[in-house]
Homo-oligomer: A and B are copies of this chain.
Amino acid sequence: MMIDRGHRLKKLRRQLSRRRLDCLLVTGKENIYYLSGFSGDDNWLLVTGDRAFLITDFRYRGRAEEELTLECELRVRSSASLSDTVAALCRELSLKRPGYEEHHLSCAQFNSLKRSLKGRKWRPAGSRVEEIRMIKDPEEISLLRESARLTGRVLNQVMSRARSGLTEKELAGHLTSAFIKRGCEAAFPPIVAGGGHSSQPHAASSGRQFGPGKILLVDLGMKRRFYNSDMTRTFVLNTFPRRFKTIYRAVMGARKKALQEIRPGVKASFVDARARDYLAEKGYGSYFGHSLGHGVGLEVHERPLISAGSGDIIEVGMVFTIEPGVYIPGWGGIRIEDMVLVTDNGCEVLTTYPKDLLSMVLNGDW
């Protein structure tokens, strides 16, 4: 599958000229890959009105020659620093109004850029590339669809063999190994949280063992051909703990409310509010402390943000999670997380793993 990176550069250049910038120094790793095809670290990309330069060094030269899209040129620096090389290019091409990615440049790197290029003012360009990345190309959509589907298969395969005596960490390890056997990797260390531990939305998998009648929350994602997935299911071992069914139905209800509102033109904050209000009505308002969802793509967490404070507007081609949850300290937590793709008049759920109450019961030797 050929990814059309020229098209992306064109969109970016349109943004730059709108902001009267004659170039953008792209320093975010995923942004560099998105625009140039190069996947290494410690490299920067300078995009001007009609050219683009990947600035790399000896270590990455061969890889850059293999990976770089035709629209980009290679500058291999030897002893000069990244910022000196950028400064030399700016002088060579008479660039007067350079922009930078303030979210992807440390204060130290910025100071070094300023020292290297005296007499020019670097202008913060915000999240131009991230904004372009919010709307997925057809090639990206098929990669994301495949990541979401395969993640469900891996979860199914591992859970069908899970038995008592396993610890959270071991189960997380089985999930990661299963990803690797399929030639991909875990997008993040899987979160496996049993019993009361599941009430921590970002629990670290521990050495705890599982037992019957307990909750088992599993949050996992894979990274395959640079694109991530993210999903959560909350299982129970053999029997439902007290209150589980009621709370599970409330979370499912919040999910449904959110999905009904997703369509082009709607504010992301409105979708968040619908799920949040529903949980509040059911009496769980104070037990849902994180945002409803986030974009997924080259990063596991990217724009758009589906939260109360988000300024993002939903558009066709966006892919994000919807993940309402209720977390009750001491009792446990329930989260259901799916990836959805925004279509012309609604959305399509990309995560194929079942989520009805009965499918959440793991039977066997617990």
Q: Which residues of A approach B to under 8 Å, CB–CB?
A: 39-40, 57-63, 67, 100, 102-108, 110-111, 124, 169-170, 173, 176-177, 180-181, 183, 185, 189, 197, 199-204, 289-290, 329
Contact = CB atoms under 8 A, between A and B. Distances in A.
Contact of A59 (B180, B189, B200): B200
A290 to B, nearest CB: 6
Contacts of A108: 102-103, 124
B204 A63 contact: yes
A287 B137 CA distance: 41
18 contacts: A39-B204, A40-B204, A57-B289, A60-B202, A62-B197, A62-B329, A100-B107, A102-B107, A103-B106, A103-B107, A104-B106, A105-B106, A106-B106, A106-B107, A107-B110, A176-B180, A176-B185, A180-B180
Given A107-B105, A108-B102, A189-B185, A290 B59 contact: yes
A200 B63 contact: yes
Contacts of A199: 62
Given A103-B108, A106-B103, A62 B203 contact: yes
A39 B202 CA distance: 11
A252 to B, nearest CB: 22
A57, A110, A204, A290: most-surrounded residue (chain B CB, <10 A): A204
Contacts of A61: 200
Contacts of A170: 183
Contacts of A183: 169-170, 173
A161 to B, nearest CB: 15
A40 B203 CA distance: 9
B107 A63 contact: no
A291 B296 CA distance: 36
A203 B40 CA distance: 9
Contacts of A203: 62-63
Please give me the 7 A-B residue pairs with the lowest Cβ-Cβ distance, nearest first.
A58-B289, A62-B200, A102-B107, A102-B108, A59-B202, A59-B201, A173-B180
Contacts of A290: 58-59
A60 B202 CA distance: 6
Contacts of A110: 107
A162 to B, nearest CB: 16
Contacts of A60: 200, 202
Contacts of A200: 59-63
Contact of A289 (B59, B169, B173, B329): B59
Contacts of A197: 62
